[in-house]
Amino acid sequence: MARWPNVPDCYGWLTLTRRGEWRIGERRERIAHRGLSEFINRNYLAGERGAWFFQNGPQRVWVSLDYMPLVYRSGHDEPTQLTAHTGTPARSIERMAIDQDGSLILVTELGPGVLDDRDLAAMLPMIHASSGRALEDCVGNPAEALRFGPAGMPVERLSADSLETEFGFVRHPSAPISANRS
């Protein structure tokens, strides 16, 4: 890397969608090349200040996030078996929340993310009120505590606007004023 010591970081070029797709440029064209997507996924990391980036050789390409830094997909046979959009399997769910639009927020050892909306139908039936009522019967009542699965993991209610602060990530990174990275 010492060969190119002054390679500038890149901002505003790469975006991660709510469905875990990579988009490039101002027109947000979908990256369709599987090899390129896999390369980005392998080199996708969190910076020290909560912004996420793709390490492209000596250059850091800072990622704009449509929603969360990770997008989780559930397993076909077992919905609680999660895999991040990067292809890395998650071992356990550490925290769970639901936002005002019904998006399911998950925190695993990999980091904070959102469940791909195409997998909601498999996961939402596992969320219920402490009283035993189904989610659809109590979602509008913020006083009713929500639980997930047989173990009864608490499901928090969070506003989409609070997610960056709550989970410590940066949705739209910008170049720092100083020369410090991340």
Query: b/e string for 85-109 if b means 16 or more Cβ within 10 A?
Result: bbebebeebeebbbbeeebbbbbbe
What is the residue whose two structure tokens read 């997998």?
119
Tens of each residue's pLDDT in the chain, 182 residues: 455 678 889 999 999 999 999 999 989 999 999 999 999 999 999 998 999 999 999 999 999 999 999 999 998 788 889 999 999 999 999 999 999 998 999 999 999 999 999 999 998 888 888 887 777 777 677 777 888 887 888 999 999 999 999 999 999 999 887 655 55
Stated pTM of the model? 0.89
